Amino acid sequence: MSQAPAAAEKSTILSKETFLSLYLPNLAISMGQGIATPVIPALAQSFGVSFELATLVLILNGLGGLVFTFPIGYMMDRMGRRPVLLIGPFLTAITSILTAFAPTFELLLLCRFLNGGAQQMWQLSRLTMITDTGKDRERGRLITWMQEVMAFGGLFSPAIGGFVATFWGIQMPFLLYGVLCIVAILPSFKLVKETDPERQAGFVGVRESVPWREVVAACWSAQMMAFFASQFMANFTRGINMGGMLNLYAAYKYEVGPDFIGLLASANSFIRLPLGLMTGYVMDRWGRKKTVVPGFSLLTVAMMFMTSTALYELPLEFYVAAYLCVTFAQGITSGNMMVIGSDMAPTRGRAQWMSLWRFIAATGSQLSPVVFTIVGGLFGYVGAFGIVGFSSLSVALLVGLLMQETVGRNRDQGPIAPATVPEPTRPGG
């Protein structure tokens, strides 16, 4: 087609606007999170509470993000994406600063809960705006590269947070987190435009919301149900690593210290970063399923390896090898379910649909460490790792057998026809 070169020339993946409004804010916000994260246990301890109560500081932050998904989706469809995107980092900054000076443990928990909701405002609105505007052959890279920039931001920032807390007190990292959130969002006031399709067409003001029954009714196709099931299982599979359960297992099983766990975490990030950058290109070039099915199949094999280390009580060296295999496979799967979801999001009630989708994903992530702990206590770690391996296999089977390729999908169609994957047009030729 004669328009192909023009489309290629207008690629926004590496544009200045994308860097300042997407990658840079993600980098700054993730650095702020990383700076504050290692100080949270010390802040909880300063109130003299038990370990069981201290865990609520972490749990309620994730729960806040889970609870606020539906109100955020409702607001984005009623008022637009841009206001939610701009308000989110400011609320994150305010709740972070309030966290630093919370006078009681109860107020600390409230601040952490609200902070989780504020973080979700940025994450969900940014993903919705990419879904609104990203081209089919660019969304894979936009979403996965956004994820990897966040991973890069958290690579060294925990060490910085520990250093800052040691020399300037445990409140200072939270203040830095707040400052970074505000600085991160400032360019977006000028660069980010409203992406809601109806508002781009000239609608102004508060729009009538789409009834939730219509949003839910649109989810009952076989393709949608397979996607939601695979998304839940994907987040359940990755939740034990993302939630730190593998690190906790290593600490209790092999009695390793923070220095060793820190090295494993760094290795995790270094392995994941280049893989995430490559998978975005593969998804845009050859299709989304080309990373989902191989990635979760490899993750199943890696979890079988991890299960064998528990079954045969293998030494630490074998656990490290299994951990790195899990990390490698998860690097291939990073962000790919988000890309499929952005392909499938309908035009009408899109933000509300996306809030439902992300609620399902977050539920999988939140349940993963809970189920892992319960099964591990009842049946041992062989059973716990085995369940995670089974959930990974279910993702590969659901996507591979029940879902069709989503590249090039017309959002307003019912059944989704298989998409062709044409050769990309190179700039200038």
In this prediction, residue 353 carries a pLDDT of: 93
Give dist(CA 279, CA 290) in Å, integer.
Answer: 9
Give dist(CA 391, CA 173) in Å, integer.
Answer: 37
Over residues 297-336, the pLDDT tens digits come to 999 999 999 999 999 999 999 999 999 999 899 989 988 9
In this prediction, residue 429 carries a pLDDT of: 39
Asked if residue 427 has pLDDT above 80, the reply is: no
The mean pLDDT of 170-178, rounded to a whole number, is 91
Residues 6+ apart with CB under 8 A from 398: 226, 229, 230, 233
* 233, 391 contact by CB (below 8 A): yes
Asked if residue 423 has pLDDT above 90, the reply is: no
In this prediction, residue 8 carries a pLDDT of: 44
Give dist(CA 302, CA 72) in Å, integer.
Answer: 36
Asked if residue 422 has pLDDT above 60, the reply is: no
The mean pLDDT of 53-71, rounded to a whole number, is 85
The CB-based long-range contact list for 394-398 (8 Å cut-off, 24+ gap) reads 394/229, 394/230, 394/233, 395/230, 395/233, 395/234, 395/237, 395/292, 395/296, 396/292, 396/293, 396/296, 396/297, 396/300, 398/226, 398/229, 398/230, 398/233
Give dist(CA 361, CA 264) in Å, integer.
Answer: 26
The mean pLDDT of 198-219, rounded to a whole number, is 71
Give dist(CA 108, CA 386) in Å, integer.
Answer: 37
Q: State CA 50 to chain mean position distance.
A: 30
Task: Specify the domain boundaries for CATH 1.20.1250.20 within the chain.
Answer: 16-191, 214-419
Give dist(CA 261, CA 256) in Å, integer.
Answer: 7
Over residues 6-31, the pLDDT tens digits come to 444 466 787 778 888 888 888 888 88
* 284, 140 contact by CB (below 8 A): yes
* 288, 407 contact by CB (below 8 A): yes
pLDDT bracket for residue 347 (50, 70, 90) = confident
In eight-state DSSP terms, residue 420 is P
The pLDDT > 70 percentage for the chain reads 88
Residue type, 175: L
In this prediction, residue 290 carries a pLDDT of: 93
Q: What is the mean pLDDT of the chain?
A: 84
Give dist(CA 30, CA 273) in Å, integer.
Answer: 14
pLDDT bracket for residue 95 (50, 70, 90) = very high
| Higher pLDDT among residues 164 and 5, named by residue | 164
Is the Cα dihedral 157, 83, 183, 145 positive or negative?
Answer: positive
What CATH number has the domain spanning 214-419?
1.20.1250.20
Dihedral in degrees, nearest 10, Cα atoms 370, 371, 372, 378 = 110
pLDDT bracket for residue 89 (50, 70, 90) = very high
**Of the options 3.40.605.10, 1.10.10.60, 1.20.1250.20, 3.40.1160.10, the CATH number for the domain spanning 16-191:** 1.20.1250.20
In this prediction, residue 51 carries a pLDDT of: 65
Residue entry with tokens 């392995």:
271
170 Rama sector, left if φ>0, alpha if ψ -120 to 50, beta otherwise: alpha
Q: State CA 195 to chain mean position distance.
A: 21
Residue type, 244: G
In this prediction, residue 419 carries a pLDDT of: 36
* 386, 307 contact by CB (below 8 A): yes
Over residues 363-418, the pLDDT tens digits come to 998 888 888 888 888 888 899 999 999 999 999 999 999 999 988 665 554 333 33
Give dist(CA 97, CA 106) in Å, integer.
Answer: 16
In this prediction, residue 17 carries a pLDDT of: 81
Dihedral in degrees, nearest 10, Cα atoms 239, 243, 244, 245 = -50
Over residues 284-295, the pLDDT tens digits come to 999 999 999 999
